[in-house]
Structure 1
Amino acid sequence: MHGPASPGWLLVALCAATGAYCLLRMRSAVEEQRRAAGGEALMGFGMAVMAVPAVVVTPPRWAWIVYVVVFGGAAVRALWTVRRNAHHLHHLVGTFAMVYMAAAMATAPGHHVHAGHGGIAPLTGVLLFYFAGYVLWSGMRLVPVTAVATAGGARSVGWGDRPELARACRLSMALAMVAMLLTL
């Protein structure tokens, strides 16, 4: 992505750490959480690679096309999941945003992709509005969650089953998405 190298490396670190935590969440005993964590790990690592500053390495055009294909497949999977559970709509929007950014970079690598002189493309603006709203909404939801109760009483919650950490993970990826869309 475009922009200064230092914030770019911070974005890479944030996204990679988020992806790594999502891999830990895939060890959850709850199947739905494992599935969601897998998609979020793909997003986190994909965003980390996409955020590597262009001054360090400029990916060839074919790399962006690979991104379009990979995240296009993830978007189709997310669309299939949304049919059964509307809760996953955010995953669909996130994968679509990744496809959009990769397609923009494939068509104009090394150049800003804007609608006109000094403006932003309408779709970029819509995605920025969505992710900024999601950041605010998920930030407000970051309150401590009580322990998961079972029939025999409370049980300890493992790293993969901590809802507040999953929310923080989604919040950090949404913040990263805002930063990446701003540099598009």
Structure 2
Amino acid sequence: MHGPASFGWLLVALCALTGGYCLLRMRSAVEEQRRSAGDEALMGFGMAVMAVPAAAVAPPRWAWLAYTLVFGVAAVRALWTARTSPRHLHHLVGALAMVYMAAVMVASPGGGHGGTGPPLLTGVLLLYFAGYVLWAGARLIPVPVTAGVQVPAPRILGWGDRPELARACRLSMGIGMFAMLLTV
């Protein structure tokens, strides 16, 4: 990723921590949550590796090709899963955005950071992730309980089953993806 090195390292840390939390979520007792967490862990760690500042490490062209292949497979898997669960359409868009960014890096002169993609596609992806970040952020805002409404007793949940943490994880990855797309 090109741009200020401090910005890149902060993005690496955010994405790596998010990917790490998603690995913890894979211990959930619910299969759908485990599968979703696995997809998100791959995305978080992939984004962390891709966001390493160019001044620190300039990956060879074959690394960008490998990213394209890995996230292409992830996109096909997300498309397959989206047949039964439309929630995975977001995973599909995220994987395709990673394929797009890696392909831009392959096509750039020197085979690395600093490439530019088609402005229309970049703009569409930026709009999607900006909207997703706003939507995911709004879902984290607590809803006030009105008087007289029966609220169920809170359950004690493990780390893998905390919905508010899963939403925060998805929000941070959306922010990271938006930031990465700004540099394309």
Q: Report the TM-score when normalising by structure 2.
A: 0.90
The aligned counterpart of 2:74 is 74
Offset at residue 144 of structure 1 (A): 4.7
The aligned counterpart of 2:115 is 112
Say yes or no: does 1:175 pair with 2:175: yes
* Structure-1 separation of matches of 2:57 and 2:122: 24
Please identify runs of 4+ aligned residues in structure 1 that moved more than 6 A. none
* Structure-2 separation of matches of 1:97 and 1:22: 19
* Structure-1 separation of matches of 2:141 and 2:162: 12
Offset at residue 143 of structure 1 (A): 3.3
For residue 83 of structure 2, give the secondary structure of its aligned residue in structure 1: helix
Offset at residue 88 of structure 1 (A): 1.1
The aligned counterpart of 1:118 is none
* Structure-2 separation of matches of 1:10 and 1:154: 34
* Structure-2 separation of matches of 1:82 and 1:100: 20
Letter of the 1:23 partner, please give it: L
Letter of the 1:136 partner, please give it: L
Using the aligned pairs only, state the percent identity. 73
Letter of the 1:78 partner, please give it: A
Unmatched segments (≥5 aa) in structure 2? 144-151
Provide the aligned C-alpha RMSD in A: 1.4
Letter of the 1:90 partner, please give it: H
The aligned counterpart of 2:93 is 93
The aligned counterpart of 1:157 is 157
Say yes or no: does 1:130 pair with 2:144: no
| CA spacing shift, 1:32–1:110, aligned 2, 3 Å | closer
Offset at residue 85 of structure 1 (A): 1.1
List per-residue Cα deviations over 1:16-72 (Å, max 9, x = no partner): 000000000000000000000000000000000000000001000000000000000
Unmatched segments (≥5 aa) in structure 1? 116-120
* Structure-2 separation of matches of 1:182 and 1:173: 14
Q: How many residues align?
A: 173
Q: Give matches, 1:1-40, under 5 Å.
A: 1-40=1-40
